[in-house]
Chain A
Amino acid sequence: MIIRDGFTTQVALSFGGLGLPVEVPSTFELPHTVFFTDESDLSPVNENIDKVIYGLTKWEPKITSTGVYPAGPNIVVQGKDHEEAVDKVNNVFLRELWGDGLPITPPTPQRVAWIMTGTDLDPDYILPGPGTVLEKGGTLSVESLAIFLAMAGGRPEYFPVVLAIAEAITDPAWQLGGVTATTRSTFPAAIVSGTIGNQIRLNSGYGCLGPDPRHPANMSIGRTIRFMLQILGGAIAGIGTMSNFGGQRITNVVVAEDEEGIPLSWPTLGEDRGFARGENAVTVDAIGNWYCHNLSTTGGGDAVTGSLLGMLPFLTCRGAEERDDPDRSNGFIMFPDGFAQLCDEAGWSKMDVKTWIYENCNRTTGENPLWSEGICRTWREPYAYNPEQVMLVVCGGAQAQHTYVMNSVTKRVERQSRAISLPKNWDELLAQAEEDLGPNPGHTG
């Protein structure tokens, strides 16, 4: 392997994802300066050719047999009291690179069993699809996800959403290996459609991308997915993921659609993705950057076109194969329900808005009065190749002051949606949550 400096451990994990031992045959790292320009100095290749020959003739792997390598035994810690024992568990998890820097809830057998009441699946059931998490290729079992949800302070009624997200982003078409490995600041964003959002206190209103004690599910589910990517996928900063900044990665993004606030004539994202209105489903995309746009800073046109014009310069995109495929990743554009209602009242259907964005993002340089260098800040590519690729989500509360743009990391990703299956004891789980957390506030936008 010819590898850029610093990437050897990440490449080793990629071998794991292919079912090979997590080892790189030879280590031939070139300085990153070699990789960037056509005039780069190639003398490091001359100086390291012996390492290439060593890799082909002398290198020996540590693991030489196939087989299943089971998880380690349970970990037992002792403390002089409960607080010290919990501290010790947290210390162990940080030392083993299983934590994320925030305190975890110890995944005791009792707590994990409690989380498992959120599904009818067996603990050792392997999720559909490849059944592994790239890059490292750790086995994606229901029990592993239950452990992560326990660690993230979750509850069993969150588990159906966790299972659906995990299945969606491990689909090979989602390109999880590349999304994880890249130097870009990627993270998964999951939009939950249907009735389950309000049932499990998943925020769709004010502050839906941040912490909210009335809606604790967003943070916990997103953190669970991060543990999955980190522990099963090896996405550890500077080791298995070379993201320079890694923004939004503690909790990723998990948010419910505002199906109470969306104009009645507008299809929900779930409907755009082929589900019935109110049906429980999740749609996941890989995000590379984001921006909160202030609608009041725009100029020209009526309230709708003026606002949309101001947003356009913040739409970016990168890379594409099968460009016309409407499932190609395009990120999400989030409208608060107040702005969606404003569009609706002005006679704009949801498809009108999507079509307008598509058409105006493809205008040539100089035509946009607000962006002299080009209407969208794309990386060689237009924002979308057809209106269907534009994903509008209504969430964020009633105030019509801002939109939130989450841009795709690359169109190589194919966005994924999955139906969410509920366990037989669903009503009991919700009743228990009501008892534990108090009355469900529902949507608070």
Chain B
Amino acid sequence: MSSEEKEERRISRRKFVKGAAAAGVGAGVLAACGSTPAPQIVKETVEVPVEIEKIVQQTVEVPVEVTRIVETSGGVPMEAGPVTLEVLDPRGASVVTQVHAPRLDTLEGKTICLLSNNIWQSWRTQPLIGELLQKQYPTAKIIPWTEIPVFSESFSPEQYAEVVAAVKAAGCDGAIVGNAG
């Protein structure tokens, strides 16, 4: 852009600011009239009294010419009378790629793995849960959380794969995961 063009751009911007200020005043007054805008473009010129406070503390009324442009937007009907509006459901599609595993018929004789992310006191709650399960199901095999890799929310897919491999290697029939929060 040449320096002349830049100068012209700046001049245009100033002109725009002055025009926008005047249009804003007009729009406010016209909105107060409460009429429903028609769907077609309408141009009209109105005189709007504007109060201007002068340095001498005198208030005078100055007539200002404002051009109002009213138009529809986005294809939305704006006519008076019953209106039907159709909108898209924003949820989009969801995909279920795997379902929850079937539940165990009993814990007797089953291998139950305790998985920990090592936060929120899981190093205390998981051992306690293991003890309580063992008490109720003496034949169950409880794999403590220390024997499965600790996982993290920021794990990469490869790191998660290591946890899954360890769970499979331990022969887990079921797992208790914690702590979330």
Interface residues of chain A, those whose CB is within 8 Å of chain B, are: 1-4, 7, 11, 14, 16, 18-21, 23, 25, 30, 32, 34-38, 40, 42, 45-46, 49, 52-53, 56-61, 63-82, 84-86, 88-89, 93, 98, 105-112, 114, 132, 136-141, 143-144, 147-148, 150-151, 172, 175, 177-178, 227, 231-232, 321, 412, 438-439, 441-442
Chain A residues closer than 8 Å to B80, beta-carbon distance = 81-82
A16 to chain B: which residues have CB within 8 Å? 94
B95 near A151 with CB under 8 A, answer: no
B128 adjacent to A45 (CB under 8 Å): yes
Interface of A is mostly: mixed
Q: Which residues of A contact B153 (CB under 8 A)?
A: 175, 177-178, 412
Instruction: Check A80/B178 contact, CB under 8 A, given A4-B120, A138-B92.
Output: no
- Across the A-B interface, give the 3 residue pairs with the lowest CB-CB distance, nearest first: A4-B181, A2-B178, A110-B75
Choose one: A34, A65, A81, A231; the contact of B90 (CB below 8 Å): A231
- Tell me the smallest distance from the CB of B145 to a CB of chain A, in Å: 11
Return chain B residues, CB-CB under 8 Å to A177: 153
Interface centre among B19, B85, B126, B136 (most CB of A within 10 A): B85
- Interface residues of chain B, those whose CB is within 8 Å of chain A, are 9, 12-13, 16-17, 19-20, 36, 74-100, 103-107, 112, 120-122, 124-126, 128-129, 132-133, 136, 153-154, 156-157, 174, 176-181
Residue with the greatest number of chain A CB neighbours at <10 A, chosen from B107, B125, B177, B181: B181
Contact for B83 among A56, A64, A81, A144, CB less than 8 A:
A81
Distance of B130 from chain A, by nearest CB (Å): 10
Contact status A32-B103, CB under 8 Å: no
Query: 14 new A-B pairs (CB below 8 Å) besides A23-B100, A30-B125, A76-B86?
Result: A1-B176, A2-B126, A3-B181, A34-B125, A42-B128, A59-B103, A65-B99, A76-B87, A111-B74, A132-B95, A147-B88, A150-B74, A172-B156, A177-B153
Q: Which residues of A contact B89 (CB under 8 A)?
A: 71-75
Measured CB to CB, the closest approach of chain A to B52, in angstroms, equals 22
Q: Which residues of B have CB within 8 Å of A53?
A: 107, 133, 136
In the assembled complex, the Cα of A49 lies from the Cα of B20 at a distance in Å of 68
A18, B125: Cα distance in complex, Å: 25
